[in-house]
A and B are shown apart, each in its own frame.
Chain A
Amino acid sequence: MEDFQGDELYRENILDHYRHPHNTGVMEQCTHRAREVNPLCGDEIEIFLRFDEVGKAANVSFVGQGCAISQAVVSMLTDWVKGKSREELARADETYVRQWLGAPVSVSREKCAFLGLRALRRAIDINN
Chain B
Amino acid sequence: MCAFYKKSRRFNGIVNPMNTEQIKKDFSIFSHAARSGKPLVYLDNAATSQTPDEVLEAMNAYYQKYRSNIHRGVYAIAERATSAYEGARLAVAEFIGAGDPGEIIFTRGTTEGLNILASRLTLGLSAGDEVAVSEMEHHANLVPWMQAVKARGLTLRFLPVRKDGRLDIEAARAIIGPRVKIVSLCHASNALGLVNPVHEIADMAHAHGAVVVVDGAQSVPHLPVNVEELGADFFAFSGHKMFGPTGIGVLWGKKALLEKMEPFLYGGDMIQEVTLDGATWTDVPWKFEGGTPPIAEAIGLAAAVRYLRRLGMENVVRHERELTRYALERMSALGGVMLYPAGDAPDAPDRIGVIAFNIEKVHPHDAASILDRHGIAVRAGHHCAMPLLRKLGINFSLRASFSAYNTREDVDLLIAAIADAQKIFHV
Q: Which residues of A contact B (CB under 8 A)?
A: 1-2, 4, 6-7, 9-10, 15, 40-43, 66-69, 106, 109, 112
Contacts and interface: CB of A to CB of B under 8 A. Distances in A.
A4 B396 contact: no
Contact of B370 (A1, A10, A40, A66): A10
Contact of A4 (B364, B365, B373, B381): B373
A42 B363 CA distance: 11
B38 interface: yes
B226 interface: no
A1 B38 contact: yes
The 10 closest A-B pairs by CB, nearest first: A67-B363, A67-B365, A42-B395, A68-B366, A67-B366, A10-B424, A4-B420, A41-B365, A7-B373, A6-B424
Contacts of A109: 365, 369
B413 interface: yes
Contact of A7 (B37, B395, B416, B424): B424
Interface string B31-53: 00000011000000000000000
B366 A69 contact: yes
A41 B423 CA distance: 23
12 contacts: A1-B413, A4-B417, A7-B369, A10-B366, A10-B424, A15-B424, A15-B425, A41-B363, A41-B365, A67-B363, A67-B364, A69-B366
B369 A41 contact: no
A6 to B, nearest CB: 6
B318 interface: no
Q: Label chain A's interface by main secondary structure.
A: loop
A10 B364 CA distance: 14
Interface in B380-398: 380-382, 395-396
Interface in B40-91: none
Interface residues of B, number: 24
A106 B424 contact: no
B181 interface: no
B351 interface: no
Contacts of B287: none
A40 B381 contact: yes
Contacts of A7: 369-370, 373, 424
Contacts of B423: 6
B366 A42 contact: no
B374 interface: yes
B362 to A, nearest CB: 8
Interface string B387-416: 000000001100000000000000001001
Most chain B beta carbons < 10 A, residue from A4, A43, A106, A112: A4
B363 A66 contact: yes
A42 B396 CA distance: 8
Given A7-B370, A10-B424, A15-B426, 20 more contacts: A1-B38, A1-B416, A4-B373, A4-B374, A4-B416, A6-B424, A7-B369, A7-B373, A9-B369, A41-B363, A41-B380, A41-B381, A42-B382, A42-B396, A43-B365, A66-B365, A68-B363, A69-B365, A69-B366, A69-B369
